């Protein structure tokens, strides 16, 4: 099992740092899956995680100048690691004006993801800072827990408004209520609602647009028969929604969400080479 990668371009480094920061804001621990051409940051939707799931996919070619990996065996050429993204985020924070950053899988008393940062210095040789981030190696028999989640059989799919606007609204709503109702229809309308004994607040968004989903398995069926005006809703934990909106450091080119009535809200954020999916289960 080997892994070694290098980033030399400052733009790529900043982009990668922002991605890691975003992930660190979403979850305390996650699984890092490495394949020959992609990196995945995964949080499986177990009850222990409050039913929240995350799937983030990065093409290594868009970030790394060098990327070498070798899995346990040729036919299973992958590596699965348990990682605290906060540590990686902290390590990269010290690399802001780095000349190059290397990330390696090493064995130092415990398995580590070693981040070596080459910094400019006043002397002839450059200064090197290394961060050894302890990781857990996930054995092959557990890999099946980390499959890509299927797009749920949603009732409504809708583009999201500018995330910053949404964040500002949800932030204020958070002071009033613990849960928020997200509802949307096929006419491009979305409402964010909170209802408490004392107050009801609703923010209406119009003409957001509904993304066209190509039918594969008949999931479109239920969507097409639906009355475009009728709202589909799911009540979710407002803190989890805010975590996603506030932690955003990558300005996505496309952001949408799929709502399964009273069951789950599935967010998809796309930014050319990166996709982040986030699942928030509906509250009972």
Choose between 33 and 102: whose C-beta lies nearer to other proteins. Answer: 102
- From CA 105, how far away is CA 134, in angstroms rounded? 10
Q: Can you give the length of the chain in residues?
A: 284
189 touches other proteins (CB under 8 A): no
State which of residues 8, 10, 137, 242 lies at the interface with other proteins (CB under 8 A).
137
Binding residue for other proteins, selected from 116, 180, 186, 274, defined by CB under 8 A: 116
Q: Is 42 left (phi over 0), alpha (psi -120 to 50) or beta?
A: beta
Q: Report 62-91 residues binding other proteins (CB under 8 A).
A: 68, 87, 90-91
Q: Is 128 in the site for other proteins (CB under 8 A)?
A: yes
Rule CB under 8 A: is residue 122 a binding residue for other proteins?
yes
Choose one: 134-142, 170-178, 212-220, 273-281; the region binding other proteins (CB under 8 A): 134-142
Which residue, 139 or 218, has its beta carbon nearer to other proteins? 139
Q: Can you tell me which residue has the tokens 């040729």? A: 74
When binding is defined by CB under 8 A, the residue of 51, 134, 149, 247 that contacts other proteins is 134
User: Are 279 and 53 spatial neighbours (Cβ–Cβ below 8 Å)?
Assistant: yes
Total H helices, total E strands in the chain: 5, 18
Q: Which stretch binds other proteins (CB under 8 A): 46-54, 127-135, 237-245, 269-277?
A: 127-135
Min dist. Cβ of residue 65 to other proteins (A): 12
User: Is residue 8 within the footprint of other proteins (CB under 8 A)?
Assistant: no
Least CB distance to other proteins at residue 233 (A):
41
Who contacts 71 (Cβ-Cβ below 8 Å, separation ≥6)?
A: 1, 34, 77, 78, 79
Give the single-character DSSP code of 147.
Answer: P
3 state DSSP class of 77: coil
Tell me the chain's radius of gyration from C-alpha atoms. Answer: 21
Q: Between 120 and 218, name the residue whose CB sits nearer to other proteins.
A: 120
Residue of the chain from 15, 131, 193, 240 that contacts other proteins (CB under 8 A): 131
Residue position matching structure tokens 């981040």: 115
CB of 43 to other proteins, least distance (A): 19
Please give the full DSSP string across 160-191, using - where no structure is assigned: ---HHHHHHHHHHHHTT-SEEEEEE-TTS-EE
Which structure tokens are listed for 135? 């990781």
**Site residues (vs other proteins, CB under 8 A):** 1-2, 4, 68, 87, 90-91, 94, 102, 104-112, 114, 116, 118, 121-134, 137, 139
């Amino acid at each position: 099992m080997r892994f070694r990668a290098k980033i030399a371009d400052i733009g790529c480094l900043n982009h990668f740092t922002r991605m890691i920061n975003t992930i660190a804001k979403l979850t305390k621990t996650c699984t890092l899956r490495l394949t020959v051409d992609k990196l995945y940051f995964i949080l499986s939707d177990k009850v222990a995680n409050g039913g929240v799931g995350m799937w983030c996919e990065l093409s290594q070619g868009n970030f790394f100048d060098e990327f070498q990996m070798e899995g346990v065996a040729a036919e299973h050429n992958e590596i699965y690691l348990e990682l605290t993204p906060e540590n990686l985020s902290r390590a990269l924070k010290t690399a802001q004006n780095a000349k190059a950053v290397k990330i390696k899988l090493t064995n130092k008393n415990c398995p580590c993801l070693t981040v070596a940062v080459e910094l400019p210095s006043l002397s002839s040789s450059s200064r090197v800072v290394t961060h050894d981030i302890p990781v857990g190696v996930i054995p092959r028999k557990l890999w099946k827990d980390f499959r890509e989640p299927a797009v749920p059989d949603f009732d409504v799919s809708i583009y999201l408004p500018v995330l910053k606007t949404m964040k500002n609204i949800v932030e204020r709503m958070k002071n009033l209520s613990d849960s928020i109702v997200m509802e949307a229809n096929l006419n491009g309308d979305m409402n964010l609602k909170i209802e408490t004994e004392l107050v009801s607040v609703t923010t209406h968004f119009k003409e957001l647009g509904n993304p066209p989903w190509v039918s594969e398995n008949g999931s479109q069926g239920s969507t097409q028969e639906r009355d475009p005006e009728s709202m589909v809703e799911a009540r979710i934990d407002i803190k989890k929604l805010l975590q996603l909106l506030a932690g955003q450091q990558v300005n996505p080119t496309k952001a949408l969400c799929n709502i399964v009535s009273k069951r789950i809200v599935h967010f998809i954020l796309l930014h050319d080479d990166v996709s982040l999916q986030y699942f928030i289960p509906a509250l009972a």
